[in-house]
Every structure is written in structure tokens, then in C-alpha cells.
């Protein structure tokens, strides 16, 4: 069973990221522009289309958001308590909280859920992805720059995330039974389809810019 899951769900994703990694190593492509296109164009389209067409109840989606927030806050509190007991410095405390509480649920998470569980699983994964983005752009920014970044700046970062608005529009479209005009529906679907493979490509390109061996001894 585990072999089948790996071959049918994980291996295709690993191959895409690996090909992008090799491409990045050979051509030294900058992943930044593609990552920004994905963040501002592909991801919001995927979020909107998935939630507008989901068969998952909005009650379940809302409970999932609450669960994600509670898990994140609980992990932050546990990590802060552990850091205090270990007498960690301020930067080390923030690093521990960030690494313990926040997950990158986009690049691989969306892909795995879509292949493993279909559109219903993708809808739940999209909610987790957007919730993680909102949390890391609010609590995450605050923890990462305590004493240097204001709460106001953190809140501004939250509302600059286009996926947040895509969630609201997608749920409203589903709840109110709106039907998009075909000239608008089709480009959104095409852009949404590009999100998952592009995120995997961006992951491979980002890994390619990392040094293979860290310097030792300065």
C-alpha cells in the first residue's frame, strides 16, 4: 500500500520538483518572478475556483479554519514555554516558535491532497493553505521581527494576500449560487490549473539556489 501511495501520489511531485531543481542548477534561473506570479495570479485563481465548486460544506470549512488557528496558537505557546525553560535568546525563541508553529502547506500539500483525495481533499487543503498564509503573515511576521516590525505592518501584510479575497469570493459564489460568465470562468480555471505544478517548479528552483555544502569554519 505504501509503495502504491508513493508511486501514484508522491513520486510525480518529486519528479517535477527534481526536474526544476536540475533546470535551476544548469541555468541559474531566478525563482523570484515565477514565485510572485504564482502568489498573485495562479494561487488566488486556484483558491477561488476550488471553493466556488466545492462539495464540502461551509460549516466544515469554518471548523477547519478554527482548528488550524488553535493548533498554530497552541504550538506557539508551547514553543515559547520551552524556549523560556531553555533560556533561549530573543532571536532563538522566535526561530523556535516559527519552526514549530508554521507549515509550508502550499508547494507539496496541495498537490498531495489533490492526487490522494481529489477535489474534496483539495478544497480542505486550500483552506489550510490560506489559513497558514494569513497566520504567518500576521503572527509569523510579528514573531520574526519582534521589536523591529509594528503590529500595523503585520496587519497590512495580511491584507496584501490576494488568496484571502479569493476565499471570500469563492465561498460567496458557492453560497449564493452565482454562475460566472464563460469568458471569465475558463481563464480562472486555466490559471488555477497552473498553480500546483508551478508551485512545485518554484520549490525546485528555490532549492537549486541553495549551496550544496555549507561552509565550514568560516
Instruction: Report which of residues 20 and 2 the model is more confident about.
Output: 20
pLDDT cut 90: percent of the chain above it: 42
Angle at alpha carbon of residue 105, lines to 149 and 134, rounded to 5°: 35
- Separation between Cα atoms, residue 3 and residue 97, nearest integer Å: 34
Residue whose C-alpha cell is 555544502: 213
Q: What is the pLDDT of residue 150?
A: 59
In sequence order, the 6+-apart residues with CB closer than 8 A to the CB of 206 are 31, 35
**Element spanning 173, H or E:** helix 162-176
Q: How confident is the model at residue 8 (pLDDT cuts 50, 70, 90)?
A: confident
Burial category of 84 from C-beta neighbours within 10 Å (exposed 0-12, middle 13-18, buried 19 and up)? exposed
> What confidence tens digit (pLDDT) does each residue in 50-73 have?
989 988 888 888 899 999 999 999
153: its cell numbers: 505592518
Cβ neighbours, 10 Å, residue 207:
15
pTM: 0.79
Residue whose C-alpha cell is 541555468: 27
Give me the mean pLDDT over the 16-43 stretch.
94
Amino acid at each position: 500500500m505504501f509503495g502504491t501511495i508513493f508511486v501514484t501520489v508522491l513520486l510525480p511531485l518529486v519528479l517535477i520538483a527534481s526536474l526544476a531543481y536540475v533546470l535551476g542548477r544548469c541555468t541559474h534561473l531566478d525563482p523570484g518572478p515565477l514565485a510572485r506570479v504564482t502568489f498573485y495570479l495562479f494561487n488566488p485563481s486556484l483558491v477561488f475556483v476550488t471553493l466556488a465548486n466545492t462539495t464540502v460544506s461551509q460549516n466544515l470549512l469554518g471548523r477547519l479554519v478554527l482548528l488550524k488557528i488553535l493548533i498554530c496558537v497552541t504550538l506557539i505557546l508551547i514553543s515559547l514555554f520551552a524556549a523560556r525553560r531553555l533560556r533561549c535568546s530573543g532571536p532563538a525563541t522566535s526561530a523556535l516558535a516559527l519552526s514549530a508553529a508554521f507549515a509550508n502547506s502550499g508547494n507539496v500539500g496541495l498537490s498531495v491532497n489533490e492526487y490522494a483525495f481529489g477535489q474534496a481533499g483539495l478544497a480542505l487543503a486550500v483552506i489550510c493553505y490560506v489559513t497558514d498564509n494569513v497566520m504567518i503573515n500576521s503572527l509569523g511576521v510579528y514573531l520574526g521581527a519582534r521589536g523591529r516590525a509594528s503590529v500595523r505592518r503585520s496587519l497590512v501584510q495580511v491584507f496584501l494576500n490576494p488568496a484571502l479575497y479569493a476565499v471570500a469570493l469563492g465561498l460567496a459564489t458557492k453560497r449564493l449560487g452565482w454562475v460566472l460568465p464563460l469568458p471569465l470562468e475558463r481563464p480562472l480555471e486555466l490559471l488555477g490549473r497552473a498553480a500546483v505544478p508551478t508551485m512545485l517548479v518554484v520549490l525546485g528552483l528555490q532549492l537549486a539556489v541553495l549551496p550544496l555544502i555549507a561552509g565550514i569554519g568560516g
